[in-house]
Amino acid sequence: MGAPKSLTVCLLFSSTCYSLSRFCSKLKHLDLTSCVSITNSSLKGISEGCRNLEYLNLSWCDQITKDGIEALVRGCRGLKALLLRGCTQLEDEALKHIQNYCHELVSLNLQSCSRITDEGVVQICRGCHRLQALCLSGCSNLTDASLTALALNCPRLQILEAARCSHLTDAGFTLLARNCHDLEKMDLEECILITDSTLIQLSVHCPKLQALSLSHCELITDDGILHLSNSTCGHERLRVLELDNCLLITDVALEHLENCRGLERLELYDCQQVTRAGIKRMRAQLPHVKVHAYFAPVTPPTTVGGSGQRLCRCCVIL
């Protein structure tokens, strides 16, 4: 039997990595998620023998630092997907090493790498022009400088996850939308500074948009949803829209969304101005759409003898 080309490992130690390096030289896909024993030395071992790696998942391997990343990318220059979620010791210098060696990279996940700043993202964008998917969720230090770098260097971008990046503004997303026309999925949850202006730009310039999360973006209004609904992406592509805790959204927005004939899921938790009646009217036009909403429960009346059934109807799927 030949050496495996794909491997998922749960418990792994440095000695095992050196064995992989020695006996699995053709390995292309390696998943080491939550292998907390992985160290910089482990990555050095992998880089020395597994030079054909294209996909590597190191999520939650929190002992890794920039030195381990440097050793890895020096040997594994053909990496196309690198997942580093929860690698909390990584700083901008680690991204500089990736930029120097991984020019084939198309997918990078930096979720919860909270030490990363604009400087690191700019480095990645300048060296990885083929990037199609980037997760920056939880990188709370980032500003519009990161969006500018993406806009100017990564025109093939299809997926951007930037949840909880609360310093990003309409100006950054405007430049991004005008340069990255292939965007299909965006997670902007808790990007609390964005307004309808961002939706207008996405509506005009991103006709392929299929999934958009705007949860906790409390400045979004019905007018922004109007522009989204009347756009090419709204008419033809939009499948998922998340509006949880968008407090200015009303039943008027639901009327606009009736134009989104392909919509499959709509999240409306804690949209306090949306009513059951509004959802019912929308679903009469879009019977296939799943709407997740929350309505404060009405205290059920006390039944005579206490034998009646009392049901909680707070969270409903309509």
Its pTM stands at 0.90
Domain map (residue ranges) of the chain: 22-168
The Cα–Cα gap between 119 and 110 comes to: 14
Q: Are strands 315-317 and 290-294 parallel, antiparallel or unpaired?
A: antiparallel
Q: Which helix (H) or strand (E) holds 267?
A: strand 265-268
pLDDT-derived band at 22, boundaries 50, 70, 90: confident
Give the CATH class of 22-168: alpha beta
Average pLDDT over all residues of the chain? 91
The pLDDT of residue 136 is above 90: yes
Beta bridge partners of 241: 212, 266
Burial of 30 (C-beta count, 10 Å sphere; 0-12/13-18/19+): buried
pLDDT exceeding 70 applies to what percent of the chain?
Answer: 88
The Cα–Cα gap between 147 and 153 comes to: 10
- Using one digit for the tens of pLDDT, what is the confidence trace for 49-105? 899 999 999 999 999 999 999 999 999 999 999 999 999 999 999 999 999 999 999
DSSP-assigned letter for residue 57: E
